[in-house]
Amino acid sequence: MTTKEALINYCLRIGDTSLILGQRMSEWCSNGPILEEDIAMTNIALDHIGQARTMLTYAGELEGKGRTEDDFAYKRHEREYYNSLLSERPNGHFGDTVARNFLQSAYFYHLYSALSSSKDNMIAAHAAKSLKEVTYHLRHSAEWVVRLGDGTEESKEKIQTSFDEIWEYTGDLFEMNEVDDVLIKEGIAINQTEIKAKWDKTVDEVLVRAKLQRPKDAYMHSGRLNAIHSEYLGHLLAEMQFLPRAYPDAKW
């Protein structure tokens, strides 16, 4: 595997996770529990879609076959997506969304912190720019974890269940394959075990503040690296891709 091939895949992993989480967050538009939260979640959706655009555009440039960001977003099939299994989990209730976003944002926060010094200039610039956004996403979701966890008896029970149920999708975030080996050697990517150690610390700190129990590591799903997904991604893509597939000549 060449460095370029590895880098294209690496961009898709980051870009697809941003895109799918952005699409999920956009589903909250007009459905937020209060007006302010509706706007916050829609803002977060736009941040993620913006991040996806940069990475998908870069993947297209590296590939050199003329594929645009839209081609990547709207003309790929389920088995060509490299997003995390976590990012495609359904929104559920507000607490489910908060738990999912917190776990994914903590990951992005530490990933982008590390990639800010990547030897690939484009990755480094993207990471530095996105870090400011995900810092806010992490703060937003973490504050909600604390408020729901240390809130009423009902909110505590609900968000604890959210964490318990989604936990088995967190292992997928940190898996590595040949792509990582090639890029780590070049100083472009970061070893996921380093991210995992920092992610663990952030997650533990917030769960302690929230008076919640960290779920025990048990069976973990995997799939991200091989573009294998849960049953939810297909439905998400069907909705997201409907318009450009039904009207291929439609312009923004």
Partner 1 sequence: MSNIKDSQGDVWEVFVQSKPGLPHKHAGSVHATDKEMALQNARDMYTRRNEGTCLWVVPLNAIVSSMPEDSGSFFDPADDKAYRHPTHYIMPEGAKHI
Q: Minimal distance in Å, beta carbon 44 to partner 1? A: 9
Is 140 near partner 1 (CB under 8 A)?
Answer: yes
Q: Is the Cβ of residue 144 or residue 174 nearer to partner 1 in the bound state?
A: 144
Is 143 near partner 1 (CB under 8 A)?
Answer: yes
> In which residue are the tokens 């003309």 written?
75
Cα-based torsion angle of the residue sequence 102, 107, 112, 115 in order, rounded to the nearest 10 degrees: 180
Q: Minimal distance in Å, beta carbon 235 to partner 1? A: 28
Interface residues for partner 1 in 177-236 (CB under 8 A)?
none
Cα-based torsion angle of the residue sequence 123, 126, 127, 131 in order, rounded to the nearest 10 degrees: 180
Is 147 near partner 1 (CB under 8 A)?
Answer: yes
Q: Is the Cβ of residue 76 or residue 158 nearer to partner 1 in the bound state?
A: 158
* Own/partner pairs, 173-181, CB within 8 angstroms, 24+ separation: 173/84, 173/86, 173/103, 173/104, 173/107, 173/199, 173/224, 174/199, 175/222, 175/224, 175/225, 176/225, 177/225, 178/1, 178/6, 179/1, 179/6, 179/9, 179/10, 179/13, 179/225
Q: Is the Cβ of residue 34 or residue 246 nearer to partner 1 in the bound state?
A: 34
Q: Which amino acid is at 139?
A: R
Q: Is the Cβ of residue 49 or residue 122 nearer to partner 1 in the bound state?
A: 49
Q: Is the Cβ of residue 44 or residue 62 nearer to partner 1 in the bound state?
A: 44
Instruction: Kindly determine how many residues on this chain lie close enough to bind partner 1 according to the rule CB under 8 A.
Output: 12
Q: How many CA atoms lie within 13 A of 222 on its CB side?
A: 9
Is 35 near partner 1 (CB under 8 A)?
Answer: yes
At 179, list the tokens.
Answer: 């792509």
Q: Is the Cβ of residue 19 or residue 146 nearer to partner 1 in the bound state?
A: 146
Is 153 near partner 1 (CB under 8 A)?
Answer: no
| Cα(189)–Cα(172) distance, integer angstroms | 17
Q: Figure out which of the listed residues 34, 218, 246, 250 binds partner 1, where binding follows CB under 8 A.
A: 34
What is the binding site for partner 1 (CB under 8 A)?
34-37, 39-40, 43, 136, 139-140, 143, 147
